Amino acid sequence: MLRGELERKPVPKRGEASPMSGLVLGVLTGIENQGQGLVAFDTSSVNMPARARTITPLTRQDIGRQVCLMFEHGDPTMPVILGLLHIGVDQTSVPVNEQVTSSTIQIEAKIDGERVLLEGHKEIVLKCGKASITLTHDGKILVRGTYLSSRSTGPNLIKGGSVQLN
């Protein structure tokens, strides 16, 4: 009797999506403000990414990575992200569709215990309240603030093609 119950599968009505079973691989194409992932997968009946609940926390850096999906009650419109697919030592991401724009945030910091390298293509800005330090791609360093203090136990040198005070 139990065997017969296990072998019976619900037959979808005409026009309904067929039940999904097993593990499906997809791509994380975005993250909504509430933390829900947007995923694309081959068996998706729609060309748009589907909203997916997730078991694991997601970050913007995960966009473009492959994800392992299961479907609540076998419903292809209710994906659940079980985790991110990890491939070897270096993480590789698969190409993403047009849902991921060039404004996607990519952060890289190289820290080796002696040096921290932050690199930007156009500029790097450190900002706190009314104070900021801006480094531009053409070599300018802009320091702004309501109060600026420069102290040194050794020489405090100011060198330049020209030096202007007030």
The pLDDT tens digits of the residues spanning 26-76 come to 899 888 888 889 998 876 555 678 899 999 889 888 888 999 999 988 888
Residues 80 and 121 in one domain: no
Give kind and range of the element (H or E) at residue 111.
strand 109-111
Give the domain range for residue 131.
117-144
Average pLDDT over residues 22-27: 88
Residues 133 and 80 in one domain: no
Supply 26's token pair. 């997809």
DSSP state of 62: G
Residues 9 and 56 in one domain: yes
Q: Quick one: pLDDT at residue 83?
A: 92
Rounded Cα–Cα distance for residues 134 and 143 (Å): 7
Neighbours of 146 (CB within 10 A): 7
Which residues, listed in sequence order, are joined to residue 23 by a DSSP beta bridge? none
Residues 72 and 121 in one domain: no
164 lies in some domain: no
Rounded Cα–Cα distance for residues 99 and 76 (Å): 20
